[in-house]
Chain A
Amino acid sequence: MIETLTQPSKIDIEADIVFRDQLVAIIPALRSFARGLCGRPDLADDLAQDAMTRAWAARTSYTPGTNFRAWIFVILRNQFYSTIRKNARMTSWDPEVAERVLVEAPSQQDRIHVSDVAKALQKLPAEQREVLLLIGANGASYEEAAEIADCAIGTIKSRLARGRKALAALIEGPGDEAMFARKLRPADGRSHTPE
């Protein structure tokens, strides 16, 4: 970890305490995003811990009051892409990891297994997977997802639409896509128009 050589002021220490509190609060979401990205709990936790350590070392580059989740997710995402370039294991799915949990619709008509979605997710291009995770799992807005993925909002919408379509095809086959053809939207309820 990088430490300053000069003596920290009271303001610096207070800022460190606030930063540390934000780290505590973000751990569950950080682990979830990492797990979704790489698909393996052990590697995901390594990734999340690495992101925490890097975030602490780079804490002076964070602007207080700005979106902390987006800031630290960028660190984790960069580390993920850096790691998969070096390590092919990060993209492999371990079928024993997820329990086979049934997701039931109130109508009992549309049902899929979480483990099927998790497995299919790992077969998608990482760019589509991360958008599905950010918006579908973490409830990020298009703007926040675009900030994290370092691309335009239109690109996010396009990746979301293509990722969702591919996910449905992987789970149920191309012929049954219509069953899953509803829109996946950010938690703020705004709909999107794929490019």
Chain B
Amino acid sequence: MFRKREQIFDERLILLQMQTEQRGMPKPKIPKDPKTIVGSEGFDPIASALRQMHNTVVAEPVPEDFLAILSQIDAKIAASKHSQ
């Protein structure tokens, strides 16, 4: 069975993030649940909506164009290593 392109991109991004973590970089922040943002003062619908907008985009698969830019960067880094 063929995997969806988005799934492949997601897996590539996860791999990139794992590589990042292995190099001692901090893991990307995982957004908090919108209902936890306002703490004990009560529910804030605007803050929650803004946070949910953010979380929705963060949860989307990263488009191929972004990965293409990273691939270009990787190629430049590899070329730099090779030229040493």
CB distance A110 to B25 under 8 Å?
no
**Nearest CB of chain A from residue B52's CB, rounded to whole Å:** 5
Cα distance, A52 to B29, chains bound together (Å): 19
Nearest-neighbour CB distance to chain A for B67, whole angstroms, equals 9
Number of interchain pairs (Cβ within 8 Å): 150
Contact with A along B17-48 (1 / 0, CB 8 A): 10110010111110010110111011111111
* Contact of A137 with B65 in the complex, beta carbons under 8 Å: no
Q: How far is the CB of A99 from chain B (nearest CB, A)?
A: 8
A110 touches B43 (CB 8 A): yes
CB pair A45–B63 under 8 Å, yes or no, is yes
B-to-A contact residues, CB < 8 Å: 13, 16-17, 19-20, 23, 25-29, 32, 34-35, 37-39, 41-54, 56-58, 60, 62-63, 65-66, 69-70, 72-74, 76-77, 80-81, 83-84
Given contacts A21-B19, A56-B73, A118-B53, contact A28 B45 (CB under 8 A): no
Knowing that A24-B17, A35-B53 touch, tell me 11 more A-B residue pairs with CB under 8 angstroms.
Answer: A8-B80, A10-B84, A16-B80, A24-B13, A28-B58, A103-B48, A117-B49, A137-B53, A180-B44, A182-B41, A184-B44
Assess the B62–A27 pair: CB atoms within 8 A: yes
CB pair A18 B83 closer than 8 Å: no
A25 adjacent to B50 (CB under 8 Å): no
- Contact of A36 (CB < 8 Å), options: B17, B48, B54, B66: B54
Residues of A within 8 A of B56 (CB): 101, 114
Instruction: Output the nearest chain A residue to B65 by Cβ-Cβ distance.
Output: A49
Q: Tell me the count of chain A residues lying within 8 A, CB to CB, of chain B.
A: 62
Q: Shortest distance in angstroms between A14's beta carbon and chain B's nearest beta carbon? A: 10
Write out the residue numbers on chain B whose beta carbons fall within 8 Å of the beta carbon of A18: 23, 25
Bound: A113/B42 CA distance, A? 18
Contacts of B66 in A (CB 8 A): 27, 31, 45, 48-49, 52
Partner of B70, one of A8, A23, A35: A23
A20 in contact with B73 (CB, 8 Å): yes
Q: Is B77's CB under 8 angstroms from A136's CB? A: no
Residues of B within 8 A of A12 (CB): 80
Q: Does the CB pair A133–B80 fall under 8 Å?
A: no
